[in-house]
Chain A
């Protein structure tokens, strides 16, 4: 059974994602007259994909486990404001700001996770609550402390090198973080037992618990990962742009969900892959940023994203169905 078969390829969650990616590029080339060398040489969409992709990885895992985290929309500005206030406004060493920024991610993740496992409230509602609460907290605290909704930050060179420099003048260093995190996540999810646990939790939480999986611990960990990665992205942005704003981040909520679903993750949980989420973020970034390289007016980009999302969902559905029925046929 080691032979390459179409069946086993179609069965993979990232199959739909690859098709979407090809379709989107083909669409831009045919209808937008895009020059592929210019587009692939450009940094804008890679930067966009990296920022989105880092958040999409853990949120996608949460979705595989049957949960959802939309509080990331507030965690990105929370992460950048935390470091800007501590290291910019109070001029404490940057490391304090970094630790504080990530800690606030851990804290909110713990709150989301613990409420989620202790109650039966859907995580969409819980994280909607923390989303709004964190947003309000960040704005209130920022105005209270600094009297301003925007704070400047001056980072030392080492912090810039690691978190916020532009490689070759255009490419954000966060791209490297994105690749590295994708590899780590892919290893943990697809090669270690933890991945199996996440799929089992998303498939049937009660059976998973009966099988001895620490479901609560896993879910809390995933919530911590997702909000921490969001505050990480915010922190990197603050270091890169030398300033932080209270607003922004809300787009990330829908962008990540689209990227994850296009990446082949099932909204109801139990199915998906890290490579799929990676490709999903890439595809989304190409649609969103690639439109600038086409003759198409950029006002149409939301339309394309919407159509792509629907197409991806329908495609994933029918491929999954096909994968399952193909298996039954094969055994006759």
Chain B
């Protein structure tokens, strides 16, 4: 790490919608080349937190800092321009578009001049295929293939490769493994690791403790809109984390209940 300032930091962020407080006093930081796992059960406020990070919502109180400087996102585009890329559960891809086209959606490479600038399909396909292959997905070799023909894991990987290619510095992954099988999930986790090695700051949102443990350096557990625990890799066991997510000792209690 060249500088010690976290790439993205939240300081005492509150978010409320009218009278309903969704997030209370959230402070988080994520460094370059580090994976921050954000764990939480359904309804813990994960989605609201992501939306705050990527510019959909503005915090009611508190600050967002990038490289130690205060920033304000008025819309998702602002966050994207600062290098924050969000990959959603379903990859944000277009099933009936080709890999090349969907990779470059919104930033299509063109050739030619003036009003006759045409979409450069060959270049788009080459770049897209190379970008995903660099992430170790060698099964994608034809940029004309439709996204709908890819597996869920490959779609996620494509979306991550896309974000990295377009210069993302912070990668927010919203439940990337939730809908995937074991093998596909492992595939995505490998890609996450790759992204981390390339020096990205990754925020990995999940409720699958196993997946989080596999890639995370730093963990934060969110319960009812507050950070219930904040620890580094190896400081807690899997059971402890699961219990925390479920809101305390309930898991152990449940197990005890079943055994008796």
A contacts, CB < 8 Å to B: 1, 8, 11, 191-193, 195-197, 199-200, 203-204, 206-213, 266, 270-271, 320, 323-328, 330-331
Contacts and interface: CB of A to CB of B under 8 A. Distances in A.
Interface of B: 76-77, 80, 86, 88, 92-97, 101-102, 104-108, 110, 117-119, 139-142, 144-146, 148-151
A324 B119 contact: no
B139 A331 contact: yes
A192 B140 CA distance: 25
Contacts of B144: 1, 8
Contacts of B148: 324
A193 B120 CA distance: 9
Contact of B146 (A204, A209, A211, A323): A323
Contacts, number: 91
B93 A199 contact: no
Contacts of A206: 92
Nearest to A208: B105
A196 B149 contact: no
Contact of B119 (A193, A204, A271, A320): A193
B110 A193 contact: yes
A1 B117 contact: no
29 contacts: A1-B142, A1-B144, A11-B146, A192-B117, A192-B119, A193-B108, A193-B110, A193-B117, A196-B105, A199-B94, A200-B94, A200-B105, A200-B106, A204-B92, A206-B92, A207-B105, A208-B106, A210-B80, A211-B105, A211-B107, A212-B80, A213-B105, A213-B106, A270-B97, A323-B149, A324-B146, A330-B145, A331-B140, A331-B145
A215 B141 CA distance: 30
Contact of B107 (A195, A212, A327): A212
B145 A327 contact: yes
B111 to A, nearest CB: 10
B50 to A, nearest CB: 13
B30 to A, nearest CB: 21
A210 B101 CA distance: 16
B87 to A, nearest CB: 10
Given A1-B144, A328-B149, A270 B104 contact: no
Nearest to A1: B142
Contacts of A209: 76
A213 B106 CA distance: 5
